[in-house]
Amino acid sequence: MEVGRPRMTSDTKWIVGTMIVLGGLLSAQISLVNVRIDDLGASVNARIDDLDASVNARIDGLEGRIDRLEARLASFDERLRNVEIAFGKVDQRLLTLERVLLPPQNPDQ
């Protein structure tokens, strides 16, 4: 009986060879999967960038519309204030005319 290296049978050689081939195929498949994942990641990132640009453009449009509405409301506020002042002047004139032209009311009635 020899002491030293164990002998490899043909079955063992076949199993080892098959494992090496399968390992190489598995490695190639993993590489392909990684490439596809990278491509998918790039595609998803591109779509997200497009969506971000679209959303930002819509937000900018809405901000512009809101700014115009705020300007119109400020204009309405100013015009309403002018109307209030004018009504105040008319009310003051009416009170003056009433005091001058109408007889005083009888407090007993």
Q: Does the pLDDT of residue 105 top 80, yes or no?
A: no
Q: 33 or 64: whose pLDDT is higher?
A: 64
Q: Does the pLDDT of residue 85 top 90, yes or no?
A: yes
Q: Does the pLDDT of residue 91 top 50, yes or no?
A: yes
Q: Does the pLDDT of residue 2 top 60, yes or no?
A: no
The residue with tokens 């491509």 is 39
Average pLDDT, the chain: 87
Residue 104 to residue 98: CA distance in whole angstroms: 9
Joined tokens for residue 12: 């063992």
Q: What is the pLDDT of residue 64?
A: 95
